[in-house]
């Protein structure tokens, strides 16, 4: 059935729709034909619900994220794109370090300018003085066929203690999970004192509830 037709039918029966899929174009097509709000639950290009949780977690621990620096180490993927979008809205900087061939594409990320982010070849430099160091799996859902190739390309993009040492002394570590210790992050970082990954995971639920309330009821005092 065409996505447009499914959207017309489903959206007559529910108050909200959340879709986790691959191509962003599928969600866009659904949303264009939906009578109710459509939440992006993850696409190849974006992961806004996770970034809401991450920013909420940062705020809980450190206060406003405006003016802060987030280091993104790893794949120029859906998470990275959405960090850049958020940085434009909320006024923080993103230091991005990806292996060659896995860079962020600004046009895919859908951001207006490159002023809120800076690209570093060396992940250590990206982490220097960062307030938050964050990473993600080397192989996202849907890209499993590239797994072996990616393991080689990403070998130097494992977040380790040396990267945390050059970040701010009170820097936080986040990971949207599931994590692979010994691949994108060392165990002593994700299980160490600067890691807030369990708060981050719990906050997926709280911000999801807040988003649903906002979409159903509007802004509450």
The structure tokens listed for 11 are 């959206």
Marked catalytic residue, from 49, 131, 176, 186: 176
Annotation says 204 is catalytic = yes
Member of 33, 57, 69, 77 binding ligand NVA (CB under 6 A):
77
Q: Which of residues 172-201 bind ligand NVA (CB under 6 A)?
A: 176
Member of 70, 79, 104, 164 binding ligand NVA (CB under 6 A):
79
In the chain, % helix, strand, coil (3-state, to 5) comes to 45, 15, 45
Bond from prior residue into 75 cis (ω within 30 degrees of 0): no
User: Measuring CA to CA, how many Å separate 59 from each of 30, 62, 82, 168, 203?
Assistant: 32, 5, 17, 16, 11
Site string for ligand NVA, 117-156 (x = CB under 6 A): -------------------xx--xx---------------
Annotation says 49 is catalytic = no
Q: Which of residues 45-64 bind ligand NVA (CB under 6 A)?
A: 47
CB atoms within 10 A of CB 179: 19
Question: Catalytic residues, which ones?
Answer: 20, 47, 50, 136, 176, 204
């Amino acid at each position: 059935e065409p996505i447009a037709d499914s959207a017309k039918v489903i959206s007559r029966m529910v108050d909200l729709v959340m879709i986790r899929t691959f191509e962003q174009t599928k969600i866009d097509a659904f949303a264009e034909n939906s009578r109710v709000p459509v939440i992006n639950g993850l696409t190849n290009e974006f992961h806004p619900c996770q970034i809401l949780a991450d920013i909420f977690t940062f705020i809980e621990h450190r206060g406003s994220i405006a003016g802060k620096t987030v280091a993104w180490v790893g794949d120029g993927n859906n998470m990275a794109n959405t960090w850049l979008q958020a940085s434009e809205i909320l006024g923080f900087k993103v230091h991005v370090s990806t292996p060659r061939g896995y860079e962020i594409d600004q046009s895919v990320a859908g951001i207006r300018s490159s002023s809120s982010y800076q690209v570093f070849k060396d992940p250590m430099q990206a982490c220097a003085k960062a307030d938050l160091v964050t990473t993600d799996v080397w192989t996202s859902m849907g890209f499993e066929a590239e797994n072996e190739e990616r393991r080689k390309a990403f070998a130097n993009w494992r977040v380790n203690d040396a990267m945390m040492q050059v970040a701010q002394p009170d820097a936080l570590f986040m990971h949207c999970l599931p994590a692979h210790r010994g691949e994108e992050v060392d165990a002593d970082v994700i299980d160490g004192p600067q890691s807030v990954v369990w708060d981050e995971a719990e906050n997926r639920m709280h911000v999801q509830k807040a988003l649903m309330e906002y979409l159903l009821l509007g802004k509450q005092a």
